[in-house]
Amino acid sequence: MKKTDAIAMLLAGGQGTRLEDLTQHNAKPGVMFGGKYRIIDFSLSNCFHSEIYTVGVMTQYRPLLLNRYISNGNAWALDKVNQGAYILPPYSDWYRGTADAVYQNFEFIDMYDPEYVVILSGDHIYQMNYRPMIQEAREKDADLMICVRRVPWEETFRFGIMNTDADFKITEFQEKPKEAKSNLASMGIYVFKWSVLKEALEKDHQNPESTKDFGHDVIPTLLEEGKKLYAYTFDGYWRDVGTVESYYQANMDLLDTRDDLDLTSERLRVFSNNENRDPHFVGEKSSIYNSLIADGCYINGRVSRSVLAHDVVVEEGAVIEDAIIFGNVTVKSGAIIRRAIVADDVTVLSNESVGTKDGKITLHVGGGQS
């Protein structure tokens, strides 16, 4: 097969336990976002905009729905000749960590023999063209380029932190430090020379004390060996939707018409693999304010500052405020939903109250993920 300059390896096997029941029947990257999207749409769309048309998607936890959704990548225009999105489940043993997941797929990467391998996570919300990062890695002859962004100092304990010199060459890596020396946080986006990545993961595989993780094991080892690691700064919108609160807030950010989060922009449009659905219907007694309404919805009640996925029915007299409603939900007359996330296939009964006006986000769960 003809050598390519870059392919992407997309980590999409995480369970996402902190999202609680939202991942009961689906992998975290397959969870609905913004009514008509899935979380993984962002990374796949970014690959298209970066002209990276070969994407290995490493799945593990609850993979069926995600595998069906991704198919061959045609929804993101990745299905070129001898290219596309490829589902890569574990061969014999479960993936033991992020590094092990890539190690188990060496044969897939070798088929393309790329100059660079771009490692991505399938559970982050952001829009990015990876090409400038690849180009900078080439110009600096970097063995590894790590994408970073500045975070508030009080949040540095949550991230892998990069300490760099004036040229952004990484001099030290701190994994979730109690006292950080920098606020440059890793975004989990790596551009590796394939030759360097292959050697590093082979060594890591032979190390019985390794946890098989890029941040905990591979990156510190590369620094100890004197490899050339550089930081690449990103200042656009980015959010790790690892908790119910952060997932809720990212959806609400869509309603703020932010310049740094525009899913329909021509430059970095986000694509999805939606089936063709009926148009939505808005009745004469409805009231809708600052909300996203997906296909197939039937609205006769009041919807305010909320995100509704496909085929949601809101009957007359029902009220939805500051909420996220998954697909195939029916909200009966007189029901009230406030500051809540309602999962697929739920019926909220007449005069039932879900959530609170203030306080913690409420999860209202029933049935399976669609």
Q: Is residue 135 one of the residues assigned to a domain?
A: yes
Judge whether 370 lies within some domain: no
The predicted structure's pLDDT at residue 275:
64
What pLDDT sits at residue 349? 95
Residues contributing to the annotated binding site for alpha-D-glucose 1-phosphate? 95, 160, 175-176, 186
CA distances from 364 to 127, 308, 368 (A): 30, 14, 12
Q: Is residue 259 part of a domain?
A: no
Q: Are 35 and 339 in contact (CB under 8 A)?
A: no
At which of 254, 289, 324 does a domain end? 254
Same domain, 226 and 304: no
Residues 51 and 126 in one domain: yes
- Residues annotated within the binding site are 95, 160, 175-176, 186
Domain total for the chain? 2
Q: Which two tokens stand for residue 126?
A: 């952001």
Contact between residue 39 and residue 31 where contact means Cβ atoms under 8 Å apart: yes
Angle at 250 between CA 246 and CA 255, to 5 degrees: 145
Indicate the pTM of the whole model.
Answer: 0.90
Residue 268 lies in a domain: no
Q: Which residue has the tokens 């489940």?
A: 89
Output the pLDDT for position 191. 98
Q: Which residues pair with 319 in a beta bridge?
A: 302, 336
For residue 311, the domain's CATH number is: 2.160.10.10
Q: What is the CATH number of the domain that holds 43?
A: 3.90.550.10
Q: 337 and 204 share a domain?
A: no
Query: Can you give the pLDDT at residue 15?
Result: 67
- Same domain flag for 287 and 358: yes
Q: Residue 293: which domain range?
A: 281-364
On whether residue 36 sits in a domain, the answer given is: yes
Residue 269 forms part of a structural domain: no
Which of 359, 315, 313, 362 shows the shortest CA–CA distance to 341? 362
250 in the same domain as 315: no
pLDDT at 273: 87
The answer to whether 152 and 170 are in contact (CB under 8 A) is no
Question: Which residue do the tokens 């990745």 mark?
Answer: 78
From first to last of its 370 residues, the chain has per-residue pLDDT tens of 456 899 999 998 776 567 777 887 778 888 899 998 999 999 999 999 999 999 999 988 777 888 889 988 899 999 888 889 999 988 777 888 899 999 999 999 999 999 999 999 988 999 999 999 999 999 999 999 999 999 999 999 989 999 999 999 999 999 888 999 999 999 999 999 999 999 999 999 999 999 999 988 999 999 999 999 999 999 999 998 888 899 999 999 999 877 789 888 888 999 998 766 778 889 888 999 999 999 999 999 999 999 999 999 999 999 999 999 999 999 999 999 999 999 999 999 999 999 977 778 999 986 444 4
